[in-house]
Every structure is written in structure tokens, then in C-alpha cells.
């Protein structure tokens, strides 16, 4: 994949320059708490040399938290924005994470090869068909006894934030993002055998845990 292929990739690469700052303003102290909630939920997966894949990893905050928690795991961050990956690499002082450029709808991995696959605050931003393909790909690459974790925003409650959320999604062509976020478990139950829902302590995000067998 060439680094800048679509307008969407260009958008994210520009966004990468102020993404972490934006998240700091947007989430405040809840950002770290939300990441920790996801990483802690994964501790039911046992083993030293486990393989972890973070789809749409952005600037790497989640996969770097996994790398810290699992010092012997093989950790990979996957994203289609070269700019986001460059920022992520800069944060990975110990070179622990393999950062891979690629499309979430076509993962460059064999079936059944990861113990943990996660995707944080990104699925809702994908266009409808890409989102469906990305979920199917996560299912394909996770091991039968592995876990897929999807972290998503709760529907914003504040009227102004709701409007801003809507405008941003319309600009990105993800006009069904709000419906997707509101759907709770339906999109996951269509694909996975077992699905569980939990909520972060701040109530701003939810975590969907999926098993394929
Ligand atoms: C809102 S950011 C989330 C980043 C990170 N997961 C986090 O929690 O901070 C969405 C990310 O998804 C990536 N992305 C969007 N569409 C993608 C696609 N089709 N394939 C791979 N990455 C994609 C973007 O480049 C961006 O880094």
C-alpha cells in the first residue's frame, strides 16, 4: 500500500500532528483510565509469548500500554496512516512494537494467529462496508480461544457534543456512525459466538469482548 492512497488517509495523517493533544483535551484524565480498562480486561488471556494486534492503532497509546503490561508478548500496531504510525514509533523508545501500515479491511496475516486483537475508538469512524470487513478480518485472525476487544464511545449526551459528533462523522462519510454507536451489541452478535459488554468507570466508553468459538 502506498503511504498516501486516499483522502481519508491524508486526513488522518494531518490529524496525527495534533491527535494526542486533541485526545488530552477531549478525554482529560479519562484517557489513561480507558486504556487501562481495556488492557486489564485482556488479562484473562494467559501465556508469556502471546501475540497482540491493535487494529487502527493511531498514535499507539493502546498497543504501548499492552507492550508494558506484557513484556514478552509479540505486539503489533496496525494502521493505514503513515503519519499516525510515525507518531506511534516516536513514543516507542524501546522499539517494542512492530508498527505495520495496512488497511483494516484486508489484514496481512494468516487465520487464527493472534491471542488478542483490539480496536479502540476507531470502528465507528470507518465507512459501513469497511467496518463490516474489518470486523470479519479481526475474527479471522484471532485464535479460536483468543479474544477480540472493541472499545467504542458511548453516544454523547451533551447536545452540543452530539451535534459536533454528527458533523464530524458526516464530513468523513461515516454517516451511519451514530446508529452504529447506538446499536450496542447487534453488529458483533451477527459475527461472534460469544459477546459481552462492559462500561468504563467514567461512562464515556464501552468495551465489547468477542469470542469466535
Ligand atoms: C480515532 S483514531 C483511533 C486511534 C487509536 N486506536 C486510539 O484509540 O487512540 C482512528 C484511527 O483509525 C485509522 N484508520 C481509519 N480507517 C482505517 C482503515 N481502513 N485501515 C486502517 N486504519 C484505519 C486512522 O488512521 C486512525 O489512526
Q: Are 188 and 195 in contact (CB under 8 A)?
A: yes
E strand spans, 66-135: 74-79, 97-101, 114-120
CATH code: domain 3-18+32-211 is 3.40.50.150
Helices (H) and strands (E) in the chain, counts: 9, 7
- Predicted confidence at residue 3, as pLDDT, reads 46
**34 Cα to the center of ligand 1, angstroms:** 17
- pTM summary value: 0.93
User: Alpha-carbon distance 64 to 74, whole Å?
Assistant: 12
Protein residue whose Cα sits closest to atom 26 of ligand 1:
58
Tens digit of each residue's pLDDT (9 = 90 or more) over 70-114: 999 999 999 999 999 999 999 999 999 999 999 999 999 999 999
**Ligand 1 in reach of 79 Cβ (< 6 A):** yes
149-157 average pLDDT score: 85
From 14, 16, 35, 56, the mutation candidate for ligand 1 (largest count of ligand atoms within 8 A of CB) is 56
**Ligand 1 in reach of 84 Cβ (< 6 A):** yes
Q: How many CB atoms lie within 10 A of CB 172?
A: 16
DSSP state of 146: E
Q: Would you say residue 168 has pLDDT above 90? A: no
| Nearest alpha carbon to residue 96 among 113, 74, 118 | 74
- Predicted confidence at residue 174, as pLDDT, reads 61
* Secondary structure class of 75 (helix, strand, coil): strand
Structural domain boundaries in the chain: 3-18+32-211
Protein residue whose Cα sits closest to atom 1 of ligand 1:
122
Given the DSSP bridges, would you call strands 205-211 and 74-79 parallel, antiparallel or unpaired?
Answer: unpaired
Cβ burial, residue 20 (10 Å; 0-12/13-18/19+):
middle
**Ligand 1 in reach of 56 Cβ (< 6 A):** yes
**Ligand 1 in reach of 105 Cβ (< 6 A):** yes
Beta bridge partners of 76: 53, 98
**First and final C-alpha spacing in the chain:** 32
Q: pLDDT band at 2, cuts 50/70/90?
A: very low
**Ligand 1 in reach of 103 Cβ (< 6 A):** yes
- Predicted confidence at residue 148, as pLDDT, reads 98
From 122, 129, 132, 134, the mutation candidate for ligand 1 (largest count of ligand atoms within 8 A of CB) is 122
**Ligand 1 in reach of 150 Cβ (< 6 A):** no
**Ligand 1 in reach of 152 Cβ (< 6 A):** no
> Who contacts 107 (Cβ-Cβ below 8 Å, separation ≥6)?
53, 55, 78, 137, 138, 140, 141
> Who contacts 8 (Cβ-Cβ below 8 Å, separation ≥6)?
172, 173
Protein residue whose Cα sits closest to atom 10 of ligand 1:
122
Amino acid at each position: 500500500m502506498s503511504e498516501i492512497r486516499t483522502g481519508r488517509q491524508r486526513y488522518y495523517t494531518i490529524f496525527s500532528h495534533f491527535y494526542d493533544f486533541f485526545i488530552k483535551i477531549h478525554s482529560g484524565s479519562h484517557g489513561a483510565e480507558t486504556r487501562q480498562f481495556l488492557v486489564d480486561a485482556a488479562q484473562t488471556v494467559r501465556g508469556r509469548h502471546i501475540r497482540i494486534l491493535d487494529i487502527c492503532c493511531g498514535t499507539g497509546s493502546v498497543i504501548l500500554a499492552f507492550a508494558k503490561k506484557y513484556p514478552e508478548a509479540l505486539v503489533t500496531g496496525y494502521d493505514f496512516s503513515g503519519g499516525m504510525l510515525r507518531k506511534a514509533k516516536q513514543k516507542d523508545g524501546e522499539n517494542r512494537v512492530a508498527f505495520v501500515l495496512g488497511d483494516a479491511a484486508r489484514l496481512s496475516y494468516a487465520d487464527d494467529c493472534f491471542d488478542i486483537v483490539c480496536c479502540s475508538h476507531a470502528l465507528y469512524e470507518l465507512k459501513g462496508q469497511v467496518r463490516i470487513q474489518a470486523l470479519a478480518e479481526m475474527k479471522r485472525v484471532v485464535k479460536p480461544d483468543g479474544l477480540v476487544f472493541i472499545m467504542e464511545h458511548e453516544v454523547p449526551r451533551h447536545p452540543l457534543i452530539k451535534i459536533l459528533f454528527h458533523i464530524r462523522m458526516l464530513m468523513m462519510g461515516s454517516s451511519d456512525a451514530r446508529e452504529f454507536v447506538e446499536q450496542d451489541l447487534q453488529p458483533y452478535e451477527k459475527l461472534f459466538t460469544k459477546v459481552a459488554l462492559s462500561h468504563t468507570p467514567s461512562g464515556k466508553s464501552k468495551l465489547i469482548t468477542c469470542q469466535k468459538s
